[in-house]
Amino acid sequence: MTAAPTLPYPLFDADNHLYETEESLTKYLPDQYKNAIQYVQVNGRTKIAVRGVISDYIPNPTFSVVAAPGAMEEYFKNGNPEGKSRREIFGAAIKAPAAFREPGPRLELMDELGVQRTLMFPTLASLVEERMRDDPKLIHVVVHALNEWLLDTWKFNYEDRIFTTPVISLPILDKAIEELDWVVANGAKAILVRPAPVPGFEGPRSFAMPEFDPFWERVVHHDILVAMHSSDSGYARFDAEWEGSNSEMLPFQTNTFRMVNEWRPVQDTVASWVCHGALFRHPKLKIAVIENGSSWLKPLLDILADVYKKAPEGFGMQDPVAAIKKSIHVSPFYEEGVTDLIDLIGVDRVLFGSDYPHPEGLAQPTHFADMLQHLPVEDQAKIMGGNLARLLGL
């Protein structure tokens, strides 16, 4: 590993990941739900089955071997002129080191990488809610089991350097508030909420509807950051209608139609915050949009500005663009740069995120600072960690 460069400010990475072990979703499941999550063998490979249905959403759910960190950097920088497959782009897999699975070794790796603090997101967790959307009770049970494992294995605050984000799902309001209070009591500084409609007994609906106000009031009371990280938001079923199929989202297979619509979930998510009024009713909310890039933001703000001009009463006569700029923080992809994003929302709303150690991220997180050299050092420091530290009250 090449030595990390010394930067004149501390790094607080808004987007790191851990790789779960096989027991992460099962160790704390009550006995009556023990068959909800199973690991099964298919042609010599271990797969995860949710309620008896095998999922390929995460091809290797054991994470025994993984793609190397940053394996796709060249792809995102220069595209894919040779038309390589995802497997070819990923290159040779590596055995997952302890630092991807345990907080102690991860701190040592962070020191080598030059990263002082990080938000730590689970990986396998992204498949849970969508595959249980017709069983809200089960979602809450499995999410709590995962959070118990995260607390047991990683803690929600490990030595004031690793801040693991427990998952909060919202189908049953009382359960969501109970889970929120529990994770905060156990040290959580940020929570992970899926950017998608909330499953329910009578069908899905937006998290920004008034029925969820008691939850968001509690979030504001706790002064905790809401992280909305890229996940399986369920849009594969809409894509499937165009394609005449019923397949689940398969992130590692080329699908140009789904690539065209890749950022529709986050665009709809942020639009919902204002179209359904939650940001107006709870202006003190702090929201970070992670691993969704920023290319979707300007088109959304342009559309919202036009709709507000035509129908201000639909927003309670409050400016949706101003509300987003006040509460929403965005972590851009390295290849996008930051200039346009700063022009849109200001430097105080931009967050550095490396997506380490995922192949889509940066092999060397400090590399993100290379694109900030045109900015004053104080602005670089905000983006590379100061803004996130402020959001978490650190």
- One digit per residue, pLDDT tens: the chain, 394 residues? 667 778 999 999 999 999 999 999 999 999 999 999 999 999 888 999 999 899 888 888 999 999 999 988 888 888 888 888 878 888 888 999 999 999 999 999 999 999 999 999 999 988 889 999 999 999 999 999 999 999 999 999 999 999 999 999 999 999 999 999 999 999 999 999 999 999 999 999 999 999 999 999 999 999 999 999 998 888 888 888 887 876 665 656 677 887 788 889 999 999 999 999 999 999 999 999 999 999 999 999 999 999 999 999 999 999 999 999 999 999 999 999 999 999 999 999 999 999 999 999 999 999 999 999 999 999 999 999 999 999 999 9
State the Cα–Cα distance between residues 215 and 180, nearest whole angstrom: 8
pLDDT of residue 77: 83
Ramachandran class of 328: left when φ > 0, alpha when ψ lies in -120 to 50, beta otherwise? beta
What pLDDT, on the 0 to 100 scale, is given for residue 239?
80
What is residue 2's predicted lDDT score, i.e. its pLDDT?
65
pLDDT in tens, 354-379: 999 999 999 999 999 999 999 999 99
Among residues 250, 270, 225, the alpha carbon closest in space to that of 121 is found at 225
Q: What's the pLDDT at 249? A: 59
288 backbone dihedrals φ, ψ, rounded to 5°: -120, 125
Output the pLDDT for position 237: 84
pLDDT at 218: 98
- Helix intervals (H) in 64-164: 73-78, 86-90, 103-113, 136-153
Strands (E) in the chain, as ranges, are: 12-17, 37-42, 45-50, 53-55, 65-66, 94-95, 117-121, 162-164, 190-192, 225-229, 287-290, 328-330
Quickly count: other Cβ atoms within 10 Å of residue 19's Cβ. 21
Per-residue pLDDT, 274: 98
pLDDT of residue 380: 98
Structure token pair of residue 313: 């009463």
Contact 234, 196 (CB under 8 A): yes
Tell if the pTM clears 0.85, that is, is over it: yes
